[in-house]
Chains A and B, each alone.
Chain A
Amino acid sequence: MSKPKFAMYWAAACGGCEIAVLNIDEKVLDLDANFEVAFWPAAMDVKYKDVEAMEDASILVTLFNGSIRTDENEHMARLLRRKSRILVAFGSCANEGCIPGLANLSSRESLFERVYQANATSPSTENPNNLRPQASSQVPEGTLTLPPLQAVIRTLDQVVEVDYHVPGCPPESRQIAAVLDALIAVVKGEAELPPKGAVLGAGNSTVCDECARKRDVKQIGKISRIQELPPLATDVCLLEQGLMCAGPATRSGCDSRCPNVGAPCIGCYGAAPGVLDQGARLMTAIASVVDANEPDAIDRVLDGIPDPAGSFYRFSLAHSLLRANRAALAEKP
């Protein structure tokens, strides 16, 4: 009896999702016992052309992590969509753009400038000849090509249809294990597939809901960064202690790991259920607790957030209502 096929792929991602899958320890043996791994660049050597040669819909499930930044990413998204019966947007990048998505606040040209310009603002740039990567370049051995960068980052579901979503940066290993268990139960005929579009491996509430810190004061007079504050109370809400915490707008499922150890939630599980735009919800929450009513006084408190778009949309910019800066969106794809 041949086993159903499993694939995992990374597009514009950091590799953390792959590590998180390996962190399920011996559970990975269950994966191997129930599936044939058909394609997984981080774990085994299968070439793109091998995937292209596979029959359409012959892979049962593909975990796709990473967002769509280059033509290569898009090609692989389309290819794997065609080859997979179930395509899972796995991790924050694939679902909401994550940190790479923050590049959507800048035009492509300004990204290249920042990174490659000789006297660039980036302190680590040393490029006296102003060399830039080219989509195609000639060398004695022939032509070398690089996949062109697209104007903006897109999430997987902005490029192809997605069947399920597993959020998190990266998804918690215990949640990954639970998702795999559920899949294996389906393969064995012991369970049904969840409805298409379901969010798997996460909670149905907010991080605040899971967080044990006490909330009483509703007003904050100053927003600081964690290194600017004296040691914090261990049992009081971090937002009330003057830190920007994304808990009120973020989906639960991580067991509020960051606030538990004194670091504010940064929003990696994406928008909470029913929230259309994570950043907008966070703006609502933060503005509500600012203890000032006069425009100047309000601005003084809000000056504690030097990069509002980056703070409110740290993980979900590419999937937000606006998606990107206007100039970036206006560029040719």
Chain B
Amino acid sequence: MSALDNTNTFEPVIIGFTCNWCSYRAADLAGTSRIKYPPNVRLIRVMCSGRIDPTFVLKALSDGADGVMIAGCHPGECHYLEQNYKALRRHRLLQKTLAQFGIEPARVRLTWASAAEGALFAQEIATMVDEVKQLGPLNWPARPVPVGSVPAEIPVLSEVGA
């Protein structure tokens, strides 16, 4: 899409969870090597992809994100041994579940990147941003806010009806 093309001005917000040891370093390397990638991703560093609870993903999606990227070390290279396999299993289970909520698989992407793969990481982000642009905004409706008259204070009950 060229800068002059204003038919699609949608810029998705993507939350990216990166692990401290590989994928965050990949992002860092992309930066220090001046590799450009779209600014749509807000990276959040966690110690390991095994720390990513599906709750984080659901919270991001229900609070306004259009997509979530989960990035970890390559299988077999997790610094906490097997935790990225857990991330993989959670991702697959989450995808199955999200389908029932009408959320497309491209909105939650799992990717592996070693500390040396800055270019690959940048490419993954570019691909994801493209795919989410195609899907359009997620715009998950805000949680309903309770209303109703609440007596300002709950009285001392021993005085009630005495």
Contacts and interface: CB of A to CB of B under 8 A. Distances in A.
A159 B151 CA distance: 16
A158 B157 contact: no
A114 to B, nearest CB: 16
A295 B155 contact: no
Interface string B143-162: 11011111100110110111
B102 A158 contact: no
Contacts, number: 145
A323 B102 CA distance: 12
A265 B88 CA distance: 26
B77 to A, nearest CB: 13
Interface in B35-71: 53-55, 57-59, 61-62
A290 B90 CA distance: 10
A276 to B, nearest CB: 5
Nearest to A157: B146
Given A158-B143, A158-B144, A325-B100, A186 B86 contact: no
A288 B148 CA distance: 42
A298 B146 contact: no
Contacts of B150: 81, 160-161
B146 A161 contact: yes
Contact of B97 (A4, A283, A292, A326): A283
30 contacts: A2-B161, A4-B157, A56-B149, A85-B151, A85-B160, A159-B144, A160-B148, A161-B147, A276-B59, A277-B55, A277-B59, A279-B97, A280-B53, A283-B54, A284-B55, A286-B93, A287-B89, A292-B89, A293-B82, A302-B93, A305-B93, A307-B100, A308-B93, A308-B97, A321-B59, A323-B62, A323-B143, A325-B100, A326-B103, A327-B102
A154 B147 CA distance: 13
Interface of B: 53-55, 57-59, 61-62, 75, 82, 85-86, 88-90, 92-94, 96-97, 100-103, 140-141, 143-144, 146-151, 154-155, 157-158, 160-162
A244 to B, nearest CB: 11
B144 to A, nearest CB: 4
Contact of A280 (B58, B89, B147, B162): B58
Contact of A308 (B96, B102, B149, B151): B96
B154 A329 contact: no
Contacts of A14: none
Closest 8 CB pairs of A and B: A189-B158, A326-B102, A160-B148, A287-B89, A81-B148, A309-B100, A280-B55, A280-B54
A154 to B, nearest CB: 6
Given A162-B146, A193-B154, 4 more contacts: A81-B148, A160-B146, A293-B85, A326-B101
Contacts of A159: 144, 146-148
A330 B161 CA distance: 46
B146 to A, nearest CB: 5
A149 interface: no
Q: How large is the interface on A (under 10, 10 to 19, 20 to 34, 35 or more residues)?
A: 35 or more
A105 interface: yes
B58 A321 contact: yes
